[in-house]
Amino acid sequence: RLDGGDPYEIARTNAVLGQLLITSGKSIIGHDRLLQAQATFKALGARRDLAQLLTFRSRLESQRLP
């Protein structure tokens, strides 16, 4: 658990960790981390980081389609 630090850095860590978890097959935990990062990026106005995260999520969704 990542508590008590810089919210932006925690969100960046959650984003990277979420991506790693998803690509290693632990998608439920990974998606939770991505959602946490997404909420923080949005609250902080970190548009570039939010856009990168949303692009990753969009690519995941497109891979699931037949």
pLDDT in tens, 20-52: 999 999 999 999 999 999 999 999 999 999 999
Q: Rounded to whole angstroms, how far apart are CA atoms 3 and 61?
A: 29
3 state SS of 24: coil
Q: Rounded to whole angstroms, how far apart are CA atoms 55 and 1?
A: 25
State in Å, rounded, how far the first CA of the chain is from the last one. Answer: 35
pTM (2 d.p.): 0.85
C-alpha Rg value of the chain to the nearest Å: 12
Q: Quick check: 40 and 48 in contact, CB under 8 A?
A: no
Q: pLDDT at residue 55 above 60?
A: yes
Tokens coding 30: 């990974």
